[in-house]
Amino acid sequence: MNIPDSELRTLSPVVRNLFLQWDDFMHRHVKFNLPESQIHTEGHCERVLLYALIMGEKIFGEDLDALEILAHAAIFHDTRRQDDYLDTGHGARAAVYYENFCKAHPDITFHPESVFLMRYHDLDDSKGIDAIRKCFNKDSDKVITLYQIFKDADALDRWRLGSKGLDPKFLRTAPAKNMTGYSLRIVRETIPPEQLAKTEHEVEQIIQQQNK
């Protein structure tokens, strides 16, 4: 675990306990396609888990089902990446991995909502929202809110890509818009400065190549 104890002590008991539970589960059981990646493995998923649980509690209170849906999406969402760049489709592959994992491990509750959060997290919001409305009917509003929370949690960790990694105007939820400073602090507390500088340089090079 990379999140400092000083940060964990500021969390509510519900968020802290769920964070510790699912962070430990991830490190023990979840496998990543790119284990050497500096930007899309356990460190990133750990921070997304933290942000998602904080926002989930703010919006849903102590709805443990909703919080667990977010937790599962957070720890599995980037597991099947094939590269560190756009890799559209990695969300769908992660959703399949999650579903198969739950079948093989009946001790973990399978949440179909988590599948949709993962499946559509790397696609335009409209596609995810349309799919959720078609599948969840009367529960679709809640699942759409979970989807927006999760996409915002993922976005809040874009500070790891550099000082221009996160554009707050694209955030969807009020809690996320109030957490940009917090997420920047968490990134700086959990990633060495030299690694942040290296990643930012690499991202800038990619952008320059794409703009040629």
- Confidence (pLDDT) at 79: 94
Instruction: State the pLDDT confidence band at 210, using cuts at 50, 70 and 90.
Output: low
Instruction: State the pLDDT confidence band at 201, using cuts at 50, 70 and 90.
Output: confident
Are 42 and 24 within 8 A, CB to CB?
no
Q: What is the CATH number of the domain that holds 19?
A: 1.10.3210
Instruction: State the pLDDT confidence band at 212, using cuts at 50, 70 and 90.
Output: low
Is 0.85 topped by the overall pTM? yes
Question: Domain containing 143: what range?
Answer: 5-210
Counted domains in the chain: 1
Taking only Cα atoms into account, the Rg of the chain, rounded to an integer number of angstroms, comes to: 16
d(CA 134, CA 162) in angstroms, rounded, equals 37
The 3-state DSSP class for residue 4 equals coil
The 3-state DSSP class for residue 91 equals helix
- Confidence (pLDDT) at 188: 96
